A = this chain, B = another copy of it.
Amino acid sequence: MPQKGIITLPKSVGIISAAAVGGAEEESGPLGDRLDVTDVGGDDKFGMETWEAAEGEMQKRALTTSIAKALLTEHDIDAVFAGDLQNQCVGSNYGLLDFDIPYFGLYGACSTCAEALILAAVYASELGTSLTAAVASSHNCAAERQFRYPVEYGGQRAPTSQWTVTGAGAFILSADEKNAPQIVDFLPGRSIDRGINDLNNMGAAMAPAAIDTLKRYLDESGRSPSSFDLILTGDLGAEGTRILRDFLPDVAVVHNDCGLLIYDVDGTDKHGGGSGCGCSATVLASTILPRMGLPTRTANGERPLRDILFMATGALMSPASVWQGNNIPGICHLVHIKSPDSWEADA
């Protein structure tokens, strides 16, 4: 029988470690003190010569840190699933080149973090492999000059524009660790095209996919939005969030968006909020999972999260495809994460 609906992992998979790397804008934002690694030089180059290489370096440091936090070495990791926004995914290709780990390259645009978590969980859950990694990143300056204008050009940004996050998140997964936040089931996304073709309004392009995935999940599971502690979208931003809540008003009470969490939007030029593969990856790693029982040095006193839906959204376009007259389809992969049964939150 077709299994297009919610897929329950035969064996739930623990997220035993997570790490977040961010740039200067992210460090000075509301989540800045939760980042594991920031750029000492402060120029978002992370010691590299180009923005593109800096993105690879962020992936390298994120994966290295997540492995270290789990008290492992790279030799313990059976496979890494990774992606980014650069043409031919060279952020991941070069960033992870030095690791002696089998490598599966992904392209899910800004949904990559959820896509990587799903495939890393399936692989870990099922193949007798015990440890896999998921990595996703974006870099503001690399993305701007590839998708829009070089930052030096100073192009005017539209009110619906979002700010591509300079950041990388990495996660270590194990099917054998129950004392960690658990990926219990997931719902992979379908491509959805609702006719949006404005390169400066990715939130509107991705919101229909988020609505499609979330509505299918709620319908099939029979659960109400308020039965979750948090429904977290990746980077719908202000515009996409408005659209989501217009179509699914019940969601508002438990919904938040990584793009709205990572920056102080008001009064800055972040406009619609954060975006990019690195947006959802860094917020999940730095801020959400520590509230679900993942050991951390920063989170305490915050409301614990026991049951969340993590929904990273992606816009499946290229600049050339839009110039050629295509719309911008969206996709949204959903990951259902629960805190471990044994966890006693000290909030």
Contact = CB atoms under 8 A, between A and B. Distances in A.
Contacts of A309: none
Contacts of A52: 320-321, 324
Contact of A93 (B93, B101, B130, B329): B329
**Most chain B beta-carbon neighbours within 10 Å: one of A83, A125, A324:** A324
Interface stretch (A104-112, A157-165, A199-207, A226-234): A104-112
A97 interface: yes
Q: How many identical subunits does the complex contain?
A: 2
A284 B107 CA distance: 24
B2 A103 contact: no
**Most chain B beta-carbon neighbours within 10 Å: one of A75, A83, A90, A319:** A90
Given A3-B127, A119-B119, A129-B7, A105 B324 contact: no
B329 A97 contact: yes
Given A316-B93, A329-B93, A107 B105 contact: yes
A155 interface: no
Contacts of A53: 324, 326
Given A104-B106, A119-B119, A90 B128 contact: no
Nearest to A125: B126
A122 B128 contact: no
Contact of A103 (B86, B123, B324, B331): B331
Contact of A316 (B105, B126, B316): B105
A298 interface: no
A257 to B, nearest CB: 22
A contact residues, range: 35 or more
A130 B104 CA distance: 23
A50 B318 CA distance: 14
B102 A10 contact: no
Contacts of A136: none
A190 B103 contact: yes
A107 B83 contact: yes
Contact of A318 (B76, B87, B130): B87
14 contacts: A2-B75, A2-B76, A2-B129, A3-B130, A10-B126, A52-B321, A87-B87, A87-B318, A89-B316, A103-B189, A103-B331, A105-B115, A122-B123, A126-B126
Given A86-B320, A94-B329, A105-B107, 11 more contacts: A2-B76, A10-B127, A52-B321, A52-B324, A79-B188, A83-B107, A88-B107, A88-B109, A88-B317, A105-B115, A122-B126
Interface of A: 1-4, 7, 9-10, 49-50, 52-53, 75-79, 83, 85-90, 93-94, 96-97, 100-109, 115, 118-119, 122-123, 125-131, 188-191, 193, 316-321, 324, 326, 329, 331
